[in-house]
Chain A
Amino acid sequence: MRKLSSLAFIVTTAAILSACSSTPVKVAEPAKVEERQIEAKPQPQADTRTVAPVETKSLDPLDDPKGVLANRSVYFDFDSYVVRDDGKPVVENHSAYLAKNKARSILIQGNTDERGGAEYNLALGQKRAEAVRKAMTTLGVSESQVEAVSLGKEKPKASGSNEEAWAQNRRADIVYK
């Protein structure tokens, strides 16, 4: 705007000056505009080289490493196949997401600690996965979105033959397909 008004002023002034002259003036030859004058005045400028970033919100909250959906493990007590209170928010958050996103589906992988037979543990891990599956379907997740499976004692998260490791391995994991 500033440059435009300066130009208008100059043009107007020239026209007035030429009109005052007695000598016939060829209108076809207006006074030359000295554009140099415009850039002659340096102004204090802001820093134009530093880029200010803009972040859009992720479209999929699953991809948010700090979001509630980042927690995908539900832990169980010894010899128990009931979702504990500390696991309920995990189940609820993923259920809400799956209820909204019908195109997404998951595997629920049940796990056990290392003690006892492989096949019996596989069946016990299945009970943990089924407990999570049932909780999710009552929260509005479609059966077609969930598959409850078991890894038994074959894929321990924590190695070691102590209660600390065993507690880590009594677990169901939610795995998005």
Chain B
Amino acid sequence: MYTMKKLNQAILTAALALAAAGAHAQMRIEISGVGSNQIPVAVAGFADENIAPQQISAIIKADLERSGAFKLIDAGVITSMNNIDYGTWKAKGADALVVGTVAKSAAGDYEVRYKLFDTVKQSELSQLNVARAPQFTRLTAHNIADDVFLKLTGIRGAFSTRIAYVKEYDKRHYELLVADADGEGEQMALRSNEPIISPSWSPDGTKVAYVSFEQKKPVVYVQNLVNRARTVVANEKGSNSSPVWAQSGNKLAVSLSKDGHTQIYTVNADGSNLKRVSNSAGIDSEANFAPDGSIYFMSDRSGGPQIYRMNADGGEAKRVTFTGNYNISPRVSADGKTLAYISRRDGNYQLYVMDLASGQEQRLSDSTDDQYPSFAPNGKYIMYATQAGGRKSLAVVSVDGRVKQRLTTQAGNIKEPTWGPFMQ
């Protein structure tokens, strides 16, 4: 359920972060719903954190809040990380306490020290000391939030990961953008007069594969985000689309129409060694690699589009979805246990997940035009494109469906999100 307090707090936190950054507002985040078992945690303001470009404790609080896994307890500013009065915090209802300090080094870096205390066991749970250049202040805050999330939930946090998505300003202006997982720190990777679709992060997080229409037809590119290098991975006669990386990071699956209808191929990241792996008379596309190397994909070989699974080198395909006559865009979680996909039911395109062991499915959205789901690398959240009031925006939902966030921008339509990997 939506709570006004949470919403206000999220907007306020985002506004504070932005004010500190001195940047244009990029995304607005609305949160609704909470996790089933929220951990009460107090996050104190970090000592001297106002000297840094962003307010670190505010970013940590916003991350933890958004996750739905925590109930935040107000803690003011704590200037000393020693002599923690556990009893006081326990009395305020906090099971854990986050404190920290910020200092500027002679080299101009910001040294951030943080500690996490368990007020129940009255012990220090974790600590980090990070020194980074000013432009990485947000990353430091996300790293701390990741550590808190891991230590308190046992699950690796994905706050420091990044997302890529497409922003469509009008029919002659498209951008591929990269931002922090919370939508902040947006950077442009590609600008084009023609559509860009189907971005996919490389497993090492340095490259994004995508489909660009700049040659009057769909062509698959891999772009190095660091050095701008662009490689044409597939430009066969006909259409080239739906790139997705294999776990190894040196191979992709793509969909090509070179043989007269759309089928799935694998290709090396440099465009070499093109091999057809699917074999049907219908459409086979939207390949997605499971951790065991098998490929989930969409095929309309039985009439409408359904999701199938085949081995890495093709062979016989086994049908996975049976409910409804339109199931597309399969994505497998990193542990291989959950399948996310878009299903059309009663004319609405909505996000579903399936427990692959039992075949049990669950609808995670109540919107009407959901597209392009993408798992967080920890498998606990799914980002997808959705539409409301004629505007395209991004949404995030926890795999249990309890926590929901919507990310909107002031201008343009945002779509085709892809969640990047954990990075060192």
A-B interaction: yes
- Do A118 and B197 have beta carbons less than 8 Å apart? yes
* B239–A120 CB distance below 8 A: no
Residues of A within 8 A of B406 (CB): none
Q: Say yes or no for B100: interface residue by CB 8 A criterion.
A: no
Assess the A118–B257 pair: CB atoms within 8 A. no
Comparing B1-9, B132-140, B211-219, the segment that makes contact with chain A is B211-219
| CA of A175 to CA of B213, assembled, Å | 15
Take A148-B238, A151-B213, A154-B213 as given contacts and tell me if A118 and B261 are in contact as well, using a CB distance cutoff of 8 Å: no
Query: Are A107 and B257 touching (Cβ within 8 A)?
Result: no
Residue in A115, A116, A123 whose CB lies within 8 Å of B285: A123
Residues facing A in B183-240 (CB within 8 A) are 195, 197-198, 213, 216-218, 237-239
CB distance from A143 to the nearest CB of B (A): 9
Task: Choose the segment among A25-33, A58-66, A124-132 that binds chain B (4+ C-beta atoms closer than 8 Å).
Answer: A124-132
Asked whether A136 is an interface residue with its Cβ less than 8 Å from the other chain, the reply is no
- CB atoms of B260 and A130 under 8 A apart: yes
**Interface bin, chain B:** 20 to 34
Interface status of B342 (Cβ within 8 A of chain A): yes
Contact across chains for B238 and A147 when beta carbons are under 8 A apart? yes
On whether the beta carbons of A119 and B238 are closer than 8 Å, the reply is no
Contact at A107–B216, with CB atoms within 8 Å? Answer: yes
Give A127 to B283 CA distance when docked, in angstroms: 9
Top 6 nearest A-B pairs (CB, nearest first) are A149-B217, A154-B195, A123-B262, A123-B283, A117-B328, A150-B239
Give 26 CB contacts A-B under 8 Å.
A109-B217, A116-B326, A117-B328, A118-B372, A119-B298, A119-B328, A120-B286, A120-B305, A120-B329, A122-B241, A122-B255, A122-B262, A123-B257, A126-B262, A126-B283, A130-B257, A130-B260, A148-B238, A150-B218, A150-B239, A150-B257, A151-B195, A151-B213, A152-B197, A154-B195, A155-B195
Q: Which residues of B contact A (CB under 8 A)?
A: 171, 195, 197-198, 213, 216-218, 237-239, 241-242, 255, 257, 260-262, 283, 285-286, 298, 300, 305, 326, 328-329, 342, 344, 349, 371-372, 416
